[in-house]
Amino acid sequence: MEGRTLDEKKKILFVCTGNICRSPSAEGVALHLIAQAGLADRFEVDSAGTHGYHVGEAPDPRSVKTAAKRGYDLRPLRARKLEIADFQRFDLLLAMDRGHLDIMHRLSPEVYRPKLGLFMQYARRFDLDEVPDPYYGGEAGFDAVLDYCEDAVAGLIETFGARGT
């Protein structure tokens, strides 16, 4: 019989450039909202970067500070680079923007390309394809990233949170 059993977790990887702003924000929001919904047994989430600029580093202090104001703790997270094994391990690999998605398509073995997509395709309130990079901007950009992450994670929970999906 094909399909997901009740005991299987939906494994989701969030991907941005250096894994210090957008994707760890998405991971932190997802961990919090999934736990809050009582669905920790239904999901496994992680994040990675398309580039290894910050491997082993904590998320950007501005991301950590902004997330903490909303009750999300990004401090335990550490940057890592996207690996070929991730394409097999995860059910969904969600890019923060089209540039990341293009890189993921180039790296991914063809058989796993159907698992790739844009994170914001799960958003319900925002009609955006991409989560803008806040790195070179001000504090408002980090707040906006959290707004987008909260919306898209809520959509992921709505889409995949029911038993047996």
C-beta separation of 14 from 46 below 8 A: yes
- Locate tokens 């059910």: which residue? 91
Nearest partner of 43 among 90, 110, 82, judged by Cα? 90
Other C-beta atoms within 10 Å of 36: how many? 11
Residue with tokens 């904590």, as numbered in its chain: 58
Strand order of the sheet with strand 116-118?
43-49, 10-16, 92-95, 116-118
Residues designated as active site: 16, 22, 133
State both tokens at 117.
């997509």
Q: Which residues pair with 43 in a beta bridge?
A: 10
Phi-psi region of 111 (alpha: psi -120 to 50; beta: other; left: phi over 0): alpha
